[in-house]
Amino acid sequence: DVKVTQSSRYLVKRTGEKVFLECVQDMDHENMFWYRQDPGLGLRLIYFSYDVKMKEKGDIPEGYSVSREKKERFSLILESASTNQTSMYLCASSFWWTGESGTTSSNEQFFGPGTRLTVL
């Protein structure tokens, strides 16, 4: 079974603190993602990475940075936490797969359990 683990289930931080969220996957997947999920807004992509040291911005990268120094590990960093970053953070990983259309896809994503971050 694919395992995606996140460093904490619950985290409480203060405004202005630097916050690190760690994600590790054990299936040698090329791609890794960070999402946040908020009521009424669904899942929104923050950053993704398709290789070591590579990163791409998602829909809401402001206030976040990421690091991928090893293939199995993808870190999300909140440089200076703010109350509007209180949310559920979800990490995912995926492999490249080519289906019937002949197009390569990374749609089958494996998600971690999530970290519920509260910024006071």
Partner 1 sequence: LAKTTQPISMDSYEGQEVNITCSHNNIATNDYITWYQQFPSQGPRFIIQGYKTKVTNEVASLFIPADRKSSTLSLPRVSLSDTAVYYCLVGVGFEEYGNKLVFGAGTILRVKS
Binding site for partner 1 (CB under 8 A): 4, 31, 35, 42-45, 48, 50, 56, 58-59, 88, 90-92, 94, 99-114, 116
Give least dist CB 2 to partner 1, A: 10
Helices marked H in the chain: none
Taking the complex as a whole, the smallest distance from the CB of residue 109 to partner 1 amounts, in Å, to 7
Please provide residue 18's backbone torsions phi and psi, each rounded to the nearest 5 degrees: -90, 130
Nearer of residues 76 and 114 to partner 1, judged by Cβ: 114
Which residue reads 């405004």 in tokens? 15
For residues 18 and 41, which CB has a smaller minimum distance to partner 1 in the complex? 41
Q: Could you give the 3-state DSSP secondary structure of residue 84?
A: helix
Q: Between residues 35 and 64, which has the closer beta carbon with respect to partner 1?
A: 35
**60 φ/ψ angles, rounded to the nearest 5 degrees:** -135, 65
Q: What is the rounded CA–CA span in Å between residue 68 and residue 55?
A: 8
